[in-house]
Chains A and B, each alone.
Chain A
């Protein structure tokens, strides 16, 4: 009797010690790598060069994509970012002292980017891509801070996130961070050129390309080992193609072609549509040719993985005949009778579908999106008056879109798996 009580007491004590140790470990993992917070909001004096530099960096980081709501004041936040765990609302980055970052110090802003913690000590949700921004240099962080502090203050209270239990708890977030986040610094690779290192820095940190182009695990964390190898964007059902295989055209395209896509939104082989159209429109078209060239050089050097070995399905003759008829009626006038694309006086305006990487992706999600919703590539200095694709979601049934896309994926030497009506329904 006495002995069993003793054993029980020992077990309780041991469990408590273990629990405390885990809590301490999680806490330590969350706070490691933090610099002391020196100075306050009043000790930061921005130079004009910092403000100009910060404006450019804010483009490179595409801060406004999330922190400016549709029709809202610039950088005043309020836009909802839908995630599989609920909606995260972007915060007010204007220098309003009460609702924005007007009372923040440069060190607190740096800690938010580098360590993912807010000025008040709260852990931030990684919908704010600090797993990437952690590698931003202190000098760039200060320039961004200077630029944001130069904006018009807007008094707009941050909306609380709408996350499902238990994701809304700081303790859950602490565990996530202990498992999946560690602060980092961009370490230049000495064997590589200065340009390559500049490209790597822009792609990995500010550009946060991995936020879409890397696969995520069940907890929403991107996987370093599969960096930029492609990922389905949560809830949007757009697939961000792999940048380390032929999927996105990085492997088999020239650096100039990669650069042209980022700068103008269109090349002879592909156009930026969907989420990438927004990236080009708001961010990459404004980057200097040197920076775009550096990004292209870095991307071209990524370890290459062979593309999916696409086994052509045995083509059903009736389906192909129906698909060909639909293609002639709806697509051939622009994309050509044999999927060769359509040219205007200044080059390609309707991309070729024969050999088109977007058409041939293992997942048909993007192709279905484009057929159903249509769309225009972004207006850019290099393509100020883009041609567009009509939305066929109203005029064609799911079955017809399945047959049409199956035909396009199997014609003119294309060999990608067929598309079912269920695929269309799921991707709509």
Chain B
């Protein structure tokens, strides 16, 4: 009886003509307000690019916001009443976008800072037990499937803030939280150097994430399936 009533209610939904595309792109319009058109980021300088990130990474972040491991009120507000199925579909959608990158936002940085940043990215700092970024994020720093993000094409301010959030416990990942350990090993000068180098790299072609990761990882990571 009530089922019949529900069906007749939807039949009665004449309303406006059907002009809105039945696509994920249309459904994800709200994301563009901060992340730029199709999630390709903006020149505004904080919000990260999400287009083309590995789907596993994007899903983990959506779930992190939903479960309080990451804290950004708008993101939490958007995802807290969404099913796992929808979050996976959203992650798959943004992962599937292969869009051109804007020119790097960091230009004219001091040469010694760039050199220090590049050294940490490529070689780490063995004396302090700091692994090289490329060991997990891929030799080209374009990420590794399914769950390690590429770090090129991100705003410097965003990168610096993420390290800060990891150091203060504002940002967490599934345990064991490898990036929280890395963030506490780096000095503030290391962090700005890495962020400066990363955000100064031009990304000419839409970089595909690497397929496989050399094992074992330098640190145990709960967000990367073993």
Query: Which residues of A are in contact with B by a Cβ distance under 8 Å?
Result: 69-71, 254-257, 259-260, 263, 267-268, 277-278, 280-281, 289-290, 292-293, 334, 336, 340-350, 352, 373-379, 382, 384-392, 394-395
- Distance (whole angstroms) from the CB of A338 to the closest CB of chain B: 10
Select from chain B the residue with minimum beta-carbon distance to A289.
B2
Q: Is the CB of B81 within 8 A of A281?
A: yes
**B111 on interface, CB distance cutoff 8 Å:** no
Whether A345 contacts B2 in the complex (CB less than 8 A), given A268-B12, A391-B33, comes out as no
CA distance A385 to B5 in the complex (A): 22
Q: Is the CB of A388 within 8 A of B30?
A: yes
**Chain A residues positioned under 8 Å from B26 (CB to CB):** 387
**Chain B residues positioned under 8 Å from A376 (CB to CB):** 30, 78, 81-82
Whether A344 contacts B20 in the complex (CB less than 8 A), given A376-B82, A379-B86, comes out as yes
Whether A385 contacts B33 in the complex (CB less than 8 A), given A259-B6, A260-B9, A345-B18, comes out as no
Q: Flag B75-97 by CB within 8 Å of A: 1 or 0 each.
A: 01110111101100100000000
Segment among B66-74, B100-108, B149-157 that sits at the interface with chain A: B66-74
* Chain B: interface size category: 35 or more
**B220 on interface, CB distance cutoff 8 Å:** no
Q: Could you list 16 examples of A-B contacts with CB < 8 Å? A: A71-B67, A254-B5, A257-B9, A259-B5, A334-B29, A343-B17, A343-B18, A344-B20, A347-B10, A349-B20, A384-B83, A384-B86, A385-B86, A388-B28, A388-B30, A395-B33
The 3 lowest CB-CB distance pairs between A and B, nearest first, are A71-B67, A289-B2, A293-B2
- Distance (whole angstroms) from the CB of B80 to the closest CB of chain A: 7
Of residues 2 to 20 in B, which have CB atoms within 8 Å of A's CB atoms? Answer: 2-3, 5-6, 8-10, 12-20
- Distance (whole angstroms) from the CB of A17 to the closest CB of chain B: 54
**Chain B residues positioned under 8 Å from A379 (CB to CB):** 81-83, 85-86
**Chain B residues positioned under 8 Å from A391 (CB to CB):** 30, 33-34, 74
Most buried by B among A336, A346, A385, A395: A385
CA distance A345 to B15 in the complex (A): 11
**B112 on interface, CB distance cutoff 8 Å:** no
CA distance A67 to B77 in the complex (A): 19
Select from chain A the residue with minimum beta-carbon distance to B74.
A391
Q: Is the CB of A375 within 8 A of B16?
A: no
Q: Is the CB of B33 within 8 A of A392?
A: yes
- Distance (whole angstroms) from the CB of B19 to the closest CB of chain A: 6
Q: Is the CB of B16 within 8 A of A289?
A: no
CA distance A281 to B18 in the complex (A): 26
Select from chain B the residue with minimum beta-carbon distance to A387.
B27
CA distance A346 to B9 in the complex (A): 12
CA distance A379 to B9 in the complex (A): 19
Q: Flag B174-194 by CB within 8 Å of A: 1 or 0 each.
A: 000000000000000000000
Most buried by B among A277, A340, A344: A344
CA distance A343 to B78 in the complex (A): 22
Select from chain A the residue with minimum beta-carbon distance to B86.
A379
Q: Is the CB of B27 within 8 A of A386?
A: yes
**B126 on interface, CB distance cutoff 8 Å:** no
**Chain A residues positioned under 8 Å from B12 (CB to CB):** 254, 256, 268
Q: Is the CB of B20 within 8 A of A334?
A: yes
Q: Is the CB of A70 within 8 A of B68?
A: yes
**B211 on interface, CB distance cutoff 8 Å:** no
CA distance A91 to B86 in the complex (A): 31
Whether A344 contacts B22 in the complex (CB less than 8 A), given A70-B67, A394-B34, comes out as yes
- Distance (whole angstroms) from the CB of A349 to the closest CB of chain B: 5
Select from chain B the residue with minimum beta-carbon distance to A381.
B83
CA distance A333 to B113 in the complex (A): 46
- Distance (whole angstroms) from the CB of A64 to the closest CB of chain B: 13
Q: Is the CB of A341 within 8 A of B5?
A: no
CA distance A396 to B198 in the complex (A): 31
**B206 on interface, CB distance cutoff 8 Å:** no
Most buried by B among A278, A341, A377, A379: A379
Q: Is the CB of B27 within 8 A of A341?
A: no
Most buried by A among B16, B74, B76, B85: B16
**B202 on interface, CB distance cutoff 8 Å:** no
Most buried by A among B3, B9, B85: B9
Q: Is the CB of A341 within 8 A of B86?
A: no
**Chain A residues positioned under 8 Å from B69 (CB to CB):** 71
- Distance (whole angstroms) from the CB of A123 to the closest CB of chain B: 31
- Distance (whole angstroms) from the CB of A253 to the closest CB of chain B: 9
**Chain B residues positioned under 8 Å from A254 (CB to CB):** 5, 9, 12
Q: Which of B3, B15, B30, B82 contacts A347 (CB 8 A)?
A: B15
**B1 on interface, CB distance cutoff 8 Å:** yes
Q: Is the CB of B18 within 8 A of A344?
A: yes
Q: Is the CB of A384 within 8 A of B85?
A: yes
Whether A350 contacts B20 in the complex (CB less than 8 A), given A260-B9, A289-B6, comes out as yes
